[in-house]
A and B are shown apart, each in its own frame.
Chain A
Amino acid sequence: MSVPEWTHMECDCSIFNEYPLTTENESLKLKSLQKALASEDIASLRYLVATRSGAVNREQRAVIWPKLLELDSWNPPQPVPHLKHKDHEQITKDIERSFVFYPKTDPDEMLSLRGRLDHLINSALCAYPGLNYYQGYHDVASIAVLIFDDLMAYKFMTKLTLMYLRDHMLPDIESTVRELKLIPELLSLVDPKLHALIGSIEPIYALSSMISLFAHDIADFDGLCLVWDFILTQNSAVLVYYIYVAVLVFYKDDLLNDLDDLLGKSFTSDDTLTEETELDLADRDLIHVTLNNFISHNLKCSHLFEILKNALRYMADFPHGTLQTTKDLSKYSMLRAASLNPELILLHTSEQERSLKRSRVSKALVSHHKTLSMVVKCSIGIGVAGLVLKYSLASSGIRPRHLGIFNAASWCFSSAHGFFETVFNGFAE
């Protein structure tokens, strides 16, 4: 690939990371973005977007985001007008609570935005079979409504759904919960001391940020767009997890101070952060809530660029492919299978259903362990007794017609087996 003279050299682009970005450099950056767009140079575009101020403003984003997602060659199924998704009741409830942070607008405009949002969510979810709606998807789609016209919003959301969100759209939340474990694992690598304190807390505190690509929790539209600029340069949702960890690490002192106050213990002094920080249930609840609200309470947009850069650095230092959590994910997960074949949603769903069925069976087997082991023991006992009887009677010269006892033993065997099977299948259902 030929290198355009106006970009690519790291030192050239680094001027766009200076703070504050001078008017001169900002207009130079805009010019560079325009050139990259005109020459369809997506690699340069990605590079430029991942600098301070990202894709700069709403107008630029409307053009740049489709290029980053390569939507020119993206042809989703034609949307069916007025088609409602099976989860439309929930969707309607959430649309009534959409656009809470922005824009500040009049009721008529709000009505029109919500109408567009309703149409977008229903059509994007109906585009591919097997997609389920979740609360938070409406936060994501709201951004598309604010940036694009309806046609582009649909193209954008269908691709974003397959690339960045599909694992959260299976019939249950299991795969999302598994992916959240990336957060404690990354924390253990990036900041072991912080991990010692909060690593054992279920990472559900990060749920709303992760499934909404931060749209649920960042109340500043430009700040959120900057985060999305970086996320969209990646072609995968992986960076989202690194950003979350980068926020926690960036504000570690604030976090520890908050926890000091709440828990009445000192976490700010080094020696209290050991591998075995003991927490009772009340402590764990308080930590959960502190983390749950951490982004919305603590994140300042002026720090975002530093945080995003740190996230990219963590991603280079600890690639997600090397993490145990990633290895434990389904091979159909969006974090493992880069393919956008919508078939993967159905494959992932049926794999999950099978594993649910298996876990139900094993749970049922554990809880009915006593009954089953008794049945097995009895049947073996009767069977062995039957065999012993058969041979001892045969060796003493008694003819087969006297061997009714043996037949009874066989009957016991088969009925025990039948019972076992019924129990097993019953629990599997």
Chain B
Amino acid sequence: MSTRKKTILKVIILGDSGVGKTSLMQQFINGKFSQQYKATIGADFLPKDLVIDDKQVTMQIWDTAGQERFQSLGVAFYRGSDCCVLVYDVTNTKSFENLQSWRDEFLIQANIKDPDNFPFVVIGNKIDVEENKRLVSSKKAQSLCASMGNLPYFETSAKEAVNVEQAFDVVARNALQQEESLEFSDDYTDAVNIHVDGDSYGSCGC
């Protein structure tokens, strides 16, 4: 492994084009919003240092392209992820209906060993719009999240900084838990190796 001491939490944001993935990332990392973000092409991340329960971590938030034709590139970026944020736009029904397929695609491309226990967080963005423009109700979203394995669900406005911190706090905690569980399984593998090594030198030790 790397010589870096700090724990890196790798978080991938996925969702249809235009749901506000870049805006959410910018709001969380830099605390600002612009009407004028370029469409994201490829994949990019911004880091943020956090302290979670006295533990220093660096969260890397990966922003990705929403157009379907770029999805196949995920193989190159999703590996080693600790959490995946699925974003839809509450004014766009199709973006909500596609959440499941974003999740499935992620699990395949990231090659997740234990899909049932991998942490996802669902975000319904753009709740700052007028009520009559909203097309996906909270109830509908909650029931989908429940059916996808009780995924944590947040409704946010990246524009007005509503609930963004709260959502990413849960993202960070779940990512840390995932990272630690992986570390534990790594340690476990190492321990087995040490044990085997020990056995082979056992006679010398006596």
Report which A residues bind B (CB closer than 8 A): 90, 93-94, 96-97, 100, 132, 134-136, 138, 171-174, 177, 202, 204-205, 207-208, 211-212, 216, 264, 280-283, 285, 288-289, 292-293
Contacts and interface: CB of A to CB of B under 8 A. Distances in A.
Contact of A100 (B2, B17, B37, B42): B37
List the 9 shortest-distance A-B pairs measured between CB atoms, nearest first.
Answer: A208-B41, A93-B18, A207-B42, A202-B76, A135-B39, A281-B80, A135-B67, A280-B2, A100-B36
A132 B76 contact: no
A142 to B, nearest CB: 11
Given A100-B36, A281-B80, A292-B43, A135 B1 contact: no
A174 B73 CA distance: 10
B180 interface: no
Contacts of A172: 69, 72
Interface string B11-34: 000000110000000000000000
A206 B84 CA distance: 24
B10 A285 contact: yes
A100 B17 CA distance: 17
A197 B22 CA distance: 29
Contacts of B60: 285
Contacts of A93: 17-18, 39
A64 B186 CA distance: 62
Contacts, number: 78
Nearest to B58: A282
A97 B39 CA distance: 6
Given A135-B39, A264-B3, A293 B44 contact: yes
Given A100-B38, A173-B72, A283-B2, 18 more contacts: A93-B39, A97-B37, A97-B38, A100-B36, A132-B69, A134-B67, A134-B69, A135-B39, A135-B41, A135-B65, A173-B73, A204-B73, A205-B42, A207-B41, A212-B41, A280-B2, A282-B80, A285-B10
B151 to A, nearest CB: 25
B70 A173 contact: yes
A138 B39 contact: yes
A94 B70 CA distance: 15
A257 B183 CA distance: 31
A202 B42 CA distance: 11
Contacts of B80: 281-282, 285
Contacts of A174: 72
Interface of B: 1-4, 8, 10, 17-18, 36-45, 60, 65, 67, 69-70, 72-73, 76-77, 79-80
A204 B42 contact: yes
Given A172-B72, A285-B10, A136 B41 contact: yes
A94 B39 contact: yes
A289 B44 contact: yes
Contact of B69 (A94, A96, A173, A280): A173
B6 to A, nearest CB: 10
A171 B4 CA distance: 41
Which of B2, B17, B41: most chain A CB closer than 10 A?
B41
B8 to A, nearest CB: 6
A135 B66 CA distance: 9
A135 B70 contact: yes
Contacts of B65: 135
B1 A280 contact: yes
Nearest to B94: A89
Nearest to A176: B69
A90 B45 CA distance: 23
A289 B61 CA distance: 11
5 contacts: A97-B18, A177-B73, A205-B42, A211-B41, A285-B10
Given A172-B69, A173-B72, A204 B43 contact: yes
B17 A135 contact: yes
Contacts of A289: 44-45
Contacts of A97: 18, 36-39
A347 to B, nearest CB: 20
A292 B37 contact: no
A202 B74 CA distance: 12
A138 B18 CA distance: 15
Contacts of B39: 93-94, 97, 135-136, 138
Given A135-B17, A208-B41, A282 B8 contact: yes
A283 B3 CA distance: 10
A139 B201 CA distance: 65
Nearest to B17: A93
Contact of A204 (B18, B40, B69, B76): B76
Nearest to A174: B72
Contacts of B4: 264, 282
